[in-house]
Amino acid sequence: MAVFKNQNSTLKDSGENPRETKNRARNVLKATIDEGFKGQLLRDYLRNELKLSGRNMKRLAMDRQIFIGRKSVRIDYKIRGGETLLVNLDREEEQDMVAVPMDLTIVYEDSSLVVVDKPPFLVVHPTRNHHEDTLTNGLLHYFKQRNDPSIVRLVSRLDMNTSGLVLVAKNQFTHSAFARYRGKEKTVKTYLAITQGIWQDKQGTIDAAIYWPNPEDYRRCVHGLGQPSVTHFKVLEEFSGFSLVEFILETGRTHQIRVHSTYLGHPIVGDELYEGPLLGDHPRQFLHAWQLQFIHPMTKEKIKLQADLPEDMKQFILSNGGNLP
């Protein structure tokens, strides 16, 4: 049974000619190896119990960041049972992107991940049309200002005009852990959207495959040839012919909520791509990544986070006689 701890540790390597290890390690996996693993190779324990990838193991071994007690060991080390294993995940990395000063709203941060409340109209990562004005560029500058050696590894992404919580891993182990969580109910994403019309069913599940028929067109649609896609919904508020709806994603397809709500005849207000109503000065879809719940890959704690509705959505609800959630 592996017990992981995210701790500040002082690691010293007593092996021959080790590479220098930072005195203040920020991200350390610690496990007491059970007697039942006696005789097994350490690489198998690292792969099966700590869920390290082969690539990650190779890099950690080359950097001599795997320790039994206070001595660095190779991954072909034969386990005796009862040892204390330490794996230092810290690594100085470079990302070939420009670091750009940016006002960021940090909702949560520790040494292995950060969660940002992204405003609308901000692209998450560089594209052909957005080279330096993205959330990724802003986070790189944020890390550099804090002498944080991390690079940006996006766990979740949002469309440019969607606001709300974006989860970013600071190391490869954390990023890989979230990838393993997909479909296992260890990460729950809850969105709020203002949609057109009054829903007949106030709560339910949309189980409809999403298909991308034309790669030259951004639009997706519901079609039997598509990928399985499941969205849970609950109507929270009805006002002036609109509905404030909570959506929870079971799968994570591109434009999933936008496609599913349109499929049921309730497109999102401001969503021009999917024929949502364009009313007044509201040039974006009213979709917000509201809540995020996940099991922390390092500490195994349950983390629950929330980002308040942005002002444009608040004002639309209030000006049309609705109540805020």
Q: Which residue in the list 159, 207, 217, 271 is annotated as catalytic? A: 159
Query: HEC profile for the chain?
Result: CCCCCCCCECCCCCCCCCCCCCCCECCEEEEECCHHHCCCEHHHHHHHCCCCCHHHHHHHHHCCCEEECCEECCCCCECCCCCEEEEECCCCCCCCCCCCCCCCCEEEECCCEEEEEECCCCECCCCCCCCCCEHHHHHHHHHHHCCCCCCCEECCCCCCCCEEEEEEECCHHHHHHHHHHCCCCCEEEEEEEEEECCCCCCEEEEECCEECCCCCCCCCEECCCCECCEEEEEEEEEECCEEEEEEEECCCCCCHHHHHHHHCCCCECCCHHHCCCCCCCCCCCCEEEEEEEEECCCCCCEEEEECCCCHHHHHHHHHCCCCCC
Q: Among this protein's residues, is 207 annotated catalytic?
A: no
> Could you give phi then psi for residue 21, rounded to 5 degrees?
-110, 135
Catalytic residues: 159
